[in-house]
């Protein structure tokens, strides 16, 4: 993932490193939420968001 972000060239290396330093914290916090959506594939992500919204109670 680091390489993909670096090659994209939209963020400085320091910003990428900063983002990666938060990964353990973000993973730990995920347990506090009802739904976790991984944004790996845009179409699947959008469909999952729609599904979650439609099933919200």
pLDDT at 44: 97
At residue 22, φ and ψ (nearest 5 deg) are -85, -10
Beta strands in 1-57 (DSSP E): none
Q: Where are the chain's structural domains?
A: 2-54
Report d(CA 57, CA 35) in Å as an integer.
13
- Give per-residue pLDDT as tens, 13-50: 888 889 889 999 999 999 999 999 999 999 999 999 99
Report d(CA 37, CA 39) in Å as an integer.
6
């Amino acid at each position: 993932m680091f390489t993909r972000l670096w090659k994209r060239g939209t963020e400085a290396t320091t910003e990428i490193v900063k983002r990666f330093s938060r990964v353990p914290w973000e993973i730990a916090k995920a347990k506090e939420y009802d739904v976790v959506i991984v944004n790996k594939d845009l179409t699947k992500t959008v469909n999952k968001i729609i599904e979650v919204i439609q099933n919200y109670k």
